[in-house]
Amino acid sequence: MLGEGFTDRTLSEGQIRQIVTQAVAAMDVAGKSVLAIVPDHTRTCPLPLVARALHQDITAKGGRLDFLIALGTHPALSPSQIDKLFAVPTGKWLQTFGASRVFNHDWQNRSALRQVGSLSEQDVYEISGGLFKMTVEVTVNKLIFDYDRVLIVGPVFPHEVVGFSGGNKYFFPGICGPELLNFFHWLGAMITNPRIIGAKRTPVRATVDRAAAMLNIDKYALCMVVHHGELAGLYFGRPEEAWSPAADLSAKLHVVYVDKPYQSILAAAPPMYDDIWTAGKCMYKMEAVVADGGELIIYAPHVTEISYTHGKVIDQIGYHTRDYFLADWDKFKHYPWGVVAHSTHVRGIGRMEGGKEKCRVQVTLATGIPQSRCRQVNLGYRDPAGINIADWQGKEAQGRLYVPKAGEMLYKLSNPPAWQTFG
């Protein structure tokens, strides 16, 4: 494993380029084809810098580099969005990346996928701790089999489904088909976001790693740890070995501990979250520090859609707690489990009492989504024009918190209750 990371400083461009050069040398790319699996615009990282360094070093050795965007179920990026992702001026791709091509992953296109195996009933039973006993098909974008080397290039942050993002998660769900994706998202939802997020070893991570072991390819990872937009850490190796120290560093840099919960939190979603499917991370990262009976406001005037991919399904099922769905599972089990899981993550912890749903906190949208639709999907509404950020800024002593770029930093209680701890 190559690389380094720090809690008190960031890597210089020279250090980053040196690690990339060492990584390219270790992969032995002379005359070889390399596919880099990269994140879309919903992840903060210096992708343009790292991608340019990779292209320079790989082509200098006579290798070829292409990119595959790990979209999961996110919408495909347009040519102009791809240029923006890589910070390439319009019409300047050839001058920047030469013959390198960029592909969007399409999770719904069966012809673009290949089955690499299945998780058996016994596998699933053991991994899930007895929660499930079922066979799960494992499919992946078949492009990866056309290359001599496959390199994951992406950041590591606390994550609501798997614990920490990055590593083999770029295969599953980044470039996989719906079966495994839906299964392990619901597995994470069954365990619940507050218990999963920020935990390094989880049943979902075990599922992802077990599936990745089925990929008979030469695979590597460059795992980034981003702090305030710059790299605090960069690690290279096989996906599991590069991800591990990155997750350890993320746990030190991306978690904010507070002594008591807040009655009201205004979580401002950055522009990179363009629907609630992604802006829901504001809730995922803050849920643990909202007081019982409190309110979490997702403040995103730029957001006008629930989900560009899954909006119709969410309109049908709404946003509810895990126990709401389990109380009438025969009604909901036929919906995509990944969408049901997202619903529970946004709505948060709750329970059923006398056939009625009791949510621990109120989740409110202050977005460009109309009040009628917010009510339809069981979320609160506030007119974003009526939000005065100053009412939350510097008001921690009064039980109010403002988070200006919510979604990547995880907030946790210093002494969390049992329902927030894993294991």
- For 55-77, how does the pLDDT look when each residue is reduced to its tens digit (9 = 90+)? 999 999 999 999 999 999 989 99
- Rg (Cα) of the chain, in Å, rounded? 21
**Does residue 245 sit in the same domain as residue 274?**
no
The residue-averaged pLDDT of 7-12 equals 96
Question: Measured in whole angstroms, how far is the alpha carbon of residue 380 from the centre of its chain?
Answer: 24
Same domain flag for 213 and 275: no
Q: Is 196:218 a contact under the CB 8 Å cutoff?
A: no
Helix/strand/coil for 304: coil
Residue with tokens 């599991």: 240
- 263 and 239 in one domain? no
Contact between 77 and 69 (Cβ < 8 Å): yes
HEC profile for 323-363?
HHHHCCHHHHCCCCHHHHHHHHHHHCCEEEECCEEEECCEE
pLDDT at 311 over 70: yes
| Confidence label for 323 from pLDDT (cuts 50, 70 and 90) | very high
CATH number at residue 398: 3.90.226.30
pLDDT at residue 157 tops 70? yes
Instruction: Tell me, yes or no, whether 84 and 176 share the same domain.
Output: yes
Same domain, 346 and 326: yes
> Beta strands 262-268 and 255-258: pairing type?
unpaired
The domain that contains 193 carries what CATH number?
A: 3.40.50.11440
Q: Mean pLDDT score of the chain, rounded to an integer?
A: 96
114: its two tokens: 């290949």
Domain count of the fold of the chain: 2
Among 227, 253, 279, the domain-final residue is 253
H-assigned helices in 154-238: 178-191, 193-196, 203-212
Structure tokens at 392: 């939350």
Residue 288's nearest CA partner among 420, 407, 423 is 420
- The type of residue at 25 is A
From 218, 253, 288, the end of a domain falls on 253
| Same domain membership, residue 245 and residue 299 | no
Sorting pLDDT into bands at 50, 70 and 90, what band is 222?
Answer: very high
pLDDT band of 293, cuts 50, 70, 90:
very high
Q: Is the pLDDT of residue 205 over 80?
A: yes
Length of the chain: 423
Helix (H, G, I), strand (E, B), or coil: what is residue 76?
A: coil
Same domain, 272 and 248: no
Residues 280 and 399 in one domain: yes
Structure token pair of residue 286: 């803050």
DSSP alpha helix (H) spans, 221-275:
239-253
pLDDT for the residue 1: 86
Number of helices (H), then strands (E), in the chain: 16, 20
- Residues 213 and 351 placed together within one structural domain of the fold: no
Residue that finishes a domain, picked among 253, 276, 301:
253
pLDDT on residue 2:
95
CA-to-CA distance for 77 and 86, rounded, in angstroms? 12
Provide the strand spans (E) within 39-165: 64-69, 102-104, 113-119, 136-141, 149-155, 158-159, 163-164
344-359 pLDDT, tens digit per residue, is 999 999 999 999 999 9
Give dist(CA 132, CA 121) in Å, integer.
8
Percent of the chain whose predicted confidence (pLDDT) is above 70: 100
CB distance 348 to 287 below 8 Å:
yes
Rounded CA-CA distance 319/321 in Å is 7
Domain that holds residue 374: 256-420
Give the tens place of pLDDT for each residue, 325-347.
999 999 999 999 999 999 999 99
Average pLDDT rounded to a whole number, residues 240-247: 98
Residues 116 and 200 in one domain: yes
Instruction: Please state, in angstroms and rounded to a whole number, the distance separating the CA atoms of residues 65 and 100.
Output: 6
Same domain, 247 and 282: no
On the question of pLDDT at 422 being above 90, the answer is: no
- How far is it, in rounded angstroms, from Cα 172 to Cα 187? 14
pLDDT at residue 423 is higher than 90: no
- Does the structure show a pLDDT above 80 at 289? yes
Task: Tell me: do 326 and 402 sit in the same domain.
Answer: yes
Task: Determine the average pLDDT of the residues in 17-39.
Answer: 97
Which stretch of DSSP H or E encloses residue 257? strand 255-258
Angle between helices 203-212 and 178-191 (to 10 degrees): 160
